[in-house]
């Protein structure tokens, strides 16, 4: 009798500095998936080495021709890929293109959206055209660093500012620069992670992160998480080594909370996203049309393969919303087959 359970690949690893973080997200996702409904496997990718973990703890190679494998003599082909690679190739459209070629449904947005959201500079310029508030920024390309002088950066962007890889996943290679003498080493550090570097204006305010997903039947925006860190900014050390306080739901006014949710839902639709995304914002103080002081919602970046460990933002927000991660993942998978 044919197995009626769908076979799910949790695709993790990748080729960026966040390989190990991705592996932890895969373990989190594995714990959340409904095993009564799905046969779930963890697939690790690193370069050309693609392998799947079998039930007995051993690993088998993945056939890259069709993303299949042999499990103790039995041929297994996946019905669906849940991508949790942070960085290349799972967050920049490369892996999505492969899955499109072999006609395997997957959990993220499409090739173009993934490529665009992975490049922070491109994304910001695109969404600015839709009226989304983003920080001013400049792009510096590897090998052309001298085209923009330190004086120009100071004049156009101001100090302090952030120097970050334009195309990368987490917080590797990010520096907060307080004077122009710190620019050159910060740019060199960022170039080690990405050929394109973004120099971004510093916005003073409250940092929040908020998740969203949609299906044919529903639109869900989770409660936002407020990020309070002991460090200069929410860097890798703060993110993964506990030097941060995460408050869910964020301490925002009802009006600002509603506006953040509306903007998040709108961005999801503008980009025609799929699956769970997480958007980071800085809430700053600005002046309204009548001259009154108001909260200004500034988008910082979009994460299309957000962390999925038990303590990551999305599971926290799902719990705060009174929802269940298992049900959310089932929603996302089944939406592809309706």
Catalytic residue among 17, 18, 137, 207: 18
Whole-angstrom distance, CA of residue 138 vs CA of residue 153: 8
Catalytic residue among 17, 107, 109, 170: 170
- Residues 6 or more apart in contact with residue 77 via CB below 8 angstroms: 7, 66, 67, 68
Answer for the pair 114, 42: CB distance below 8 angstroms, yes or no.
no
Which residues of 63-195 form beta strands (DSSP E)? Answer: 68-71, 74-77, 80-83, 137-141, 161-165, 175-177
Give me the phi and psi of 87, to 5 degrees please: 105, -165
Query: Is 114 a residue of the active site?
Result: no
Query: Is 17 a residue of the active site?
Result: no
DSSP state at residue 231: S
Query: Is 107 a residue of the active site?
Result: no
Catalytic residue among 107, 171, 209, 312: 312
Residue 280 counted as an annotated binding residue? yes
Whole-angstrom distance, CA of residue 131 vs CA of residue 298: 11
- Residues 6 or more apart in contact with residue 12 via CB below 8 angstroms: 22, 23, 25, 26, 42, 43, 44, 45, 84, 85
Residue 303 counted as an annotated binding residue? yes
Answer for the pair 332, 276: CB distance below 8 angstroms, yes or no.
yes
Annotation: binding site for Mg(2+): 280, 301, 303
Known catalytic residues are: 18, 170, 312
Annotation: binding site: 280, 301, 303
């Amino acid at each position: 009798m044919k197995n009626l359970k769908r076979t799910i690949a949790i695709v993790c690893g990748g080729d960026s500095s966040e390989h190990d973080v991705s592996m932890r997200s895969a373990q989190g996702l594995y714990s959340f998936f409904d095993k009564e409904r799905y046969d779930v496997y963890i697939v690790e990718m690193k370069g050309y080495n693609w392998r799947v973990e079998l039930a007995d703890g051993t690993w088998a190679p993945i056939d890259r021709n069709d993303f299949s494998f042999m499990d103790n003599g039995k041929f297994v082909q996946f019905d669906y890929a849940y991508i949790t690679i942070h960085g290349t190739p799972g967050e920049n459209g490369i892996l999505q293109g492969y899955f499109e070629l072999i006609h395997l449904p997957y959990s993220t947005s499409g090739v173009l959206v993934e490529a665009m959201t992975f490049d922070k500079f491109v994304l910001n310029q695109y969404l600015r055209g839709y009226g989304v508030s983003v920080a001013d920024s400049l792009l510096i390309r590897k090998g052309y660093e001298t085209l923009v002088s330190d004086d120009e950066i100071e004049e156009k962007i101001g100090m302090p500012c952030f120097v970050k890889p334009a195309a990368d996943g987490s917080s590797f290679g990010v520096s907060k620069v307080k004077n122009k003498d710190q620019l050159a080493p910060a740019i060199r550090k960022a170039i080690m992670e990405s050929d394109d570097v973004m120099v971004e204006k510093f916005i003073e305010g409250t940092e929040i992160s908020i998740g969203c997903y949609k299906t044919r039947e529903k639109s869900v925006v989770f409660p936002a998480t407020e990020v309070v860190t002991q460090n200069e900014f929410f860097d890798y050390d703060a993110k993964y080594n506990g030097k941060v306080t995460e408050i869910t739901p964020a301490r925002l006014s009802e009006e600002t909370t509603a506006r953040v949710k509306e903007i998040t839902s709108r961005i999801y639709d503008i980009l025609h996203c799929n699956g769970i995304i997480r958007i980071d914002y800085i809430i700053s103080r600005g002046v309204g049309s009548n001259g009154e002081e108001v909260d200004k919602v500034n988008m910082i970046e979009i994460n299309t393969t957000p962390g999925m460990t038990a303590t990551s933002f999305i599971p926290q927000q799902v719990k705060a919303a009174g929802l269940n991660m298992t049900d959310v993942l089932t929603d996302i998978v089944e939406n592809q087959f309706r």
